[in-house]
């Protein structure tokens, strides 16, 4: 496991102690979630890079989705 040293403002550390929060575990969890989020972005970027869609194609698809969703909600909620 990699060890990282982080300076935390004393006020933050004090609040964490008052709330009985283990900062080491919290920061490890936040780091793990951020890495996972960045991995998802990387995978998405790679798949988008392979796309043959133009910006106009994306706008047309987006408009169709928005119209369909609006019609669905209008019907469902009697709008």
Q: In total, how many domains does the chain have?
A: 1
Q: Is residue 58 part of a domain?
A: yes
Q: Is residue 2 part of a domain?
A: no
Question: In the 3-class helix/strand/coil scheme, how is 54-75 assigned residue by residue?
Answer: CHHHHHHHHHHHHHHHHHHHHH
The pLDDT tens digits of the residues spanning 14-38 come to: 999 999 999 999 999 999 999 999 9
Q: What is the rounded average pLDDT of the residues 57-63?
A: 96
Q: Is residue 40 part of a domain?
A: yes
Q: Is residue 66 part of a domain?
A: yes
Contact 37, 47 (CB under 8 A): no
Q: What span, in angstroms and rounded, lies between the C-alpha atoms of 40 and 36? A: 6
Q: Is residue 63 part of a domain?
A: yes
Domain hosting 63: range is: 10-76
What is the model's pTM? Answer: 0.58
Q: What span, in angstroms and rounded, lies between the C-alpha atoms of 37 and 23? A: 21
For residue 69, with 0-12 CB atoms within 10 Å meaning exposed, 13-18 middle and 19 or more buried, which class applies?
exposed
């Amino acid at each position: 496991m990699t060890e990282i040293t982080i300076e935390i403002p004393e006020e933050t550390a004090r609040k964490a102690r008052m709330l009985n929060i283990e900062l080491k575990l919290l920061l490890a969890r936040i780091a793990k979630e951020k890495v996972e989020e960045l991995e998802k972005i990387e995978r998405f970027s790679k798949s988008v890079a392979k796309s043959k869609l133009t910006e106009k194609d994306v706008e047309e698809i987006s408009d169709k989705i928005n119209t369909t969703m609006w019609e669905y909600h209008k019907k469902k909620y009697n709008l």
